[in-house]
Amino acid sequence: HGCRSCNSPFPSPFQLAALERQVFDFLGYQWAPILANFLHIIIVILGLFGTIQYRPRYIVVYAIWTAVWVTWNIFIICFYLEVGGLSKDSELLTFNISRHQSWWSENGPGCVRKEASMSGLKGLDNHSYISVIGCALEYRYIEVMHSSFQILIALVGFVYACYVVSVFTEEEDSFDFIGGFDPFPLYHVNEKPTNLLFKQTYL
């Protein structure tokens, strides 16, 4: 089949963007995004496999998943911008099992952490994070930019997936049109010589 040029651009930007997001969510112990990113990586690999192995159904699965992925990232944007009663300080993204926040909350550009000794209090570590100062950009805006970029990549992936499926469909239709799956022309071609040979023998 002809659409071999469709294979090359599919994996690199989509997988790298997903892996980059996964790394920073792991560093921040954001369990809900970690699971979502993992599933996203699996679907991207499935879409890549479908492109290389000529499996349009896998590409359709990827195209449908992009709608889910866009919805998820819109939710993340609303979460960090505290839209609709959501709070960026809640433990929703960690399934309420830890108080960790985004990795960027302490490690953003220009951020300096201030720690104070809490050894006098039982059940706490020797040092406890108190505040972060000097951040050039608040961490929630970094997360919003990450999610916005993921939405942009997903929309590009959706358009590309639709293009690949349409190309594959056109190739299948053209192959059927020239009789690629119809055995009738084979018998039709052999029919005339046989009849002529029979008539000549009879005469």
**Is the confidence at residue 67, as pLDDT, over 80?**
yes
Mean pLDDT for 104-112 is: 90
Look up residue 157 and give its two tokens. 């992936």
**Is the confidence at residue 174, as pLDDT, over 90?**
no
Which comes out higher in pLDDT, residue 155 or 122?
Answer: 155
**Is the confidence at residue 125, as pLDDT, over 60?**
no
Q: What tens digit of pLDDT does each residue of 13-59 get?
A: 777 888 999 999 999 999 999 999 999 999 999 999 998 888 899 99
pLDDT-derived band of residue 81, with 50, 70 and 90 as boundaries?
Answer: very high
Query: Which pTM was predicted?
Result: 0.74
The C-alpha atoms of residue 120 and residue 188 are separated, in whole angstroms, by 96
> How far lies 158's CA from each of 14, 43, 133, 187, in Å?
11, 12, 40, 44
**pLDDT value at position 149?**
95
Reported residue count of the chain is 203
Identify the three-state secondary structure at position 179: coil
Q: Which of 45-54, 69-78, 175-184 shows the lowest mean pLDDT across its residues?
A: 175-184
**pLDDT value at position 130?**
64
**Is the confidence at residue 5, as pLDDT, over 70?**
no
